[in-house]
A and B are shown apart, each in its own frame.
Chain A
Amino acid sequence: MIFEQLAGNLVQGLVLGAVYGMATMGLSLIFGVLQIVNVGHGAFIMVGAFTALMMFQALGIPPVIALPAALILGMLLGMVIYYAAVKPLVSPSGSGIRKPSGRDAGIAVAIFISLMVVMRFLSGYYKLHTAFSIFVGLLFLYGLLLYVYGGRRQEKAAELATLLVTFAFGVILEEFVKQLFTSEARGYNWDIGKLDIGITVLPYTKLLAALGSVSIAVILYLWFNKTRAGMAMRSVVEDSVGARVCGVNVDWQYALSFSLGIGLTVTSGVLLTMFIPVGINPYMGGPYTLKAFVIAVLGGLASPYGAFFGGLVFGLIENGSYTLFAVIPGVEPFALTRFFSFLILLVILLIRPTGLLRAK
């Protein structure tokens, strides 16, 4: 009985794991190229989840079709954040920019504002709100200050600064979405039948989510290995100085990979709602940030494929341990599973921070 249940849950875990893996690839890509940990990771997943929700509820568009929209939205968001706040802090060559051009800042702020206007429009939230105007005003002010004073690239503290900046963007997204949609949990119901494989039942939506994740991972793999653009980006991961010497525009590659990383993450938010179409709320990202970190260190923080396999492993661990904890009387299996994944994170960091699965 327990074994059948375990087997069933492991199958579910594997399917979910594929989505988890995909949801972590963006994190690893950004770390691999820029050595930046996106602490706001979960918030971008949340944006994807709301994209799927809104497209389905307001426009009746099925989540599968929402995927490209999410990718584009995410990439735009990534570009904006990169030019507005990351580029002023990191400089690929070690020397380079002290001051982003006024155009950078201007474009970034303009795009940011138009994005938010679009989001407001999509949400059907027309009433002009004072706080919203103040927020937009602050963004303008930021652009202006950046233009006047320029970013301070901090020699050794750049890491601290990028952590805090990505964290702050996560907070902005959460709070912004909260203003638009309140913090109540939402869900949608896209029923296209289910597959019964004996030990467990898999709705087609879940299978589609896993299939979508695997396809995206494969496309990414081919892109990295077979196309010029992909190879240029990979060359930056391997040796940014060398890549520069070979004529690769490292600055642009930084922007592109940050943008792609965010794009992938937002896309994965859509896929995650196909797996779990409920509980969509502005703060849903927090647990995913943590999970993504566990997965990323499982697979080696800097490797998107490592992350994908880390996701599969993590899906198995999570569902397997849940099933086992559920047998123990007097405990909360759900909470204990989350604690367990945190414990895994600490153990990996203790024994091998560069990744358990990474081939030597």
Chain B
Amino acid sequence: MALLRCENVTKRFGGLVAVDSMTFEIDSGELMAIVGPNGAGKTTMFNLINGVFPADEGKIWFEDLDVTNFPAYKRAHLGMGRTFQIPRPFASASVQENIAIGAMFGSAGAEINVERAMEMADHYIEIIGLKKHRDKPAGGLTPTEKKLVEIARALAMKPRLLLMDEAMAGMNPKDIDGMVSFIRHIRDTEGIAIVSMVEHIMRAVAGLAERVIVMHQGALLVDEPTREALTDPRVVEVYLGHPPEEIDAQG
């Protein structure tokens, strides 16, 4: 049984089809990547999955429950976690409070009171290694630290599906390697499906994902195991923009 199933999901902004009839599945515990050039519609796809805005067409199932018309907070309760492309921690709340908010309102939130949430937050602060910043406002952290806080906040929600929007954008190769092994570690210890979105950091895709979905102009181009996807000529074309001959022809 698939954890998440999208069927012909479409989103338009005015005349622009940002997500064009996407159909795919994600299994429990899977580690996969959605890649595609800038503007391919990856972020929009994430927003549709976790309900930031509704899809114009198509259906979305989460564990066989039709969540197409569920608001974002209900999807979060079901077990969808999310980080943002540009990190959005609650700026003037402390790191601990940020993470505690995830615990309080996430999939197990109903049983977790404030004190318990704070304890859980401490646990996740330990995991991301930001203990010294525990009581500092999250708005003052570095971008990478903000990303970590976001991940911890999402993990504290105890999700079964974690959507990470460009978790590695703007990082140097060393940080990318660190992040890749961190994400793998999370998947193994927490046992959740993780979909990471990458723009064009192939190094990360290769090290991270078991399966890759390539999006191009809103549509699904390729859905294959990582090894095949990375060598697929269609993918190469999308990333270079044009097949090599054409570039030559244009001078």
Contacts of A155 in B (CB 8 A): 91, 139
Interface pairs (3), CB distance under 8 Å: A155-B91, A155-B139, A156-B91
Within 140-159 of A, Cβ neighbours of B (below 8 Å) are at 155-156
Contacts of B139 in A (CB 8 A): 155
Within 119-168 of A, Cβ neighbours of B (below 8 Å) are at 155-156
Question: Which A residues are closer than 8 A to B by beta carbons?
Answer: 155-156
- Closest residue of chain B to A238 (Cβ to Cβ) is B14
- Closest residue of chain B to A156 (Cβ to Cβ) is B91
Q: How far is the CA of A155 from the CA of B139 in the complex (A)?
A: 10
- Closest residue of chain B to A154 (Cβ to Cβ) is B91
Contacts of A156 in B (CB 8 A): 91
A142 to nearest B CB, angstroms?
Answer: 24
Does more than half of chain A's interface fall in helix, strand or loop, or is it mixed? loop
Contacts of B91 in A (CB 8 A): 155-156
B85 to nearest A CB, angstroms?
Answer: 13
- Closest residue of chain B to A155 (Cβ to Cβ) is B91
Q: How far is the CA of A156 from the CA of B92 in the complex (A)?
A: 11
Closest 3 CB pairs of A and B: A155-B91, A155-B139, A156-B91
Per-position contact with A for B136-150: 1 when CB-CB < 8 Å, else 0? 000100000000000
Q: How far is the CA of A54 from the CA of B139 in the complex (A)?
A: 51
- Closest residue of chain B to A94 (Cβ to Cβ) is B86
Q: How far is the CA of A156 from the CA of B88 in the complex (A)?
A: 10
Q: How far is the CA of A155 from the CA of B91 in the complex (A)?
A: 9
- Closest residue of chain A to B86 (Cβ to Cβ) is A94
Q: How far is the CA of A156 from the CA of B138 in the complex (A)?
A: 14
Within 91-144 of B, Cβ neighbours of A (below 8 Å) are at 91, 139
Q: How far is the CA of A176 from the CA of B149 in the complex (A)?
A: 49
B109 to nearest A CB, angstroms?
Answer: 23
A294 to nearest B CB, angstroms?
Answer: 26
B40 to nearest A CB, angstroms?
Answer: 17
B107 to nearest A CB, angstroms?
Answer: 25
Q: How far is the CA of A276 from the CA of B33 in the complex (A)?
A: 65
Q: How far is the CA of A24 from the CA of B160 in the complex (A)?
A: 50
Q: How far is the CA of A232 from the CA of B102 in the complex (A)?
A: 43
Q: How far is the CA of A156 from the CA of B91 in the complex (A)?
A: 9
A241 to nearest B CB, angstroms?
Answer: 12
B88 to nearest A CB, angstroms?
Answer: 9
B187 to nearest A CB, angstroms?
Answer: 32
B101 to nearest A CB, angstroms?
Answer: 15
Per-position contact with A for B47-82: 1 when CB-CB < 8 Å, else 0? 000000000000000000000000000000000000
A245 to nearest B CB, angstroms?
Answer: 13
Q: How far is the CA of A156 from the CA of B84 in the complex (A)?
A: 15
Q: How far is the CA of A146 from the CA of B91 in the complex (A)?
A: 23
- Closest residue of chain A to B14 (Cβ to Cβ) is A238
B71 to nearest A CB, angstroms?
Answer: 17
Q: How far is the CA of A155 from the CA of B140 in the complex (A)?
A: 13
B13 to nearest A CB, angstroms?
Answer: 11
Q: How far is the CA of A264 from the CA of B91 in the complex (A)?
A: 38
B50 to nearest A CB, angstroms?
Answer: 19
A287 to nearest B CB, angstroms?
Answer: 36
Q: How far is the CA of A215 from the CA of B134 in the complex (A)?
A: 62
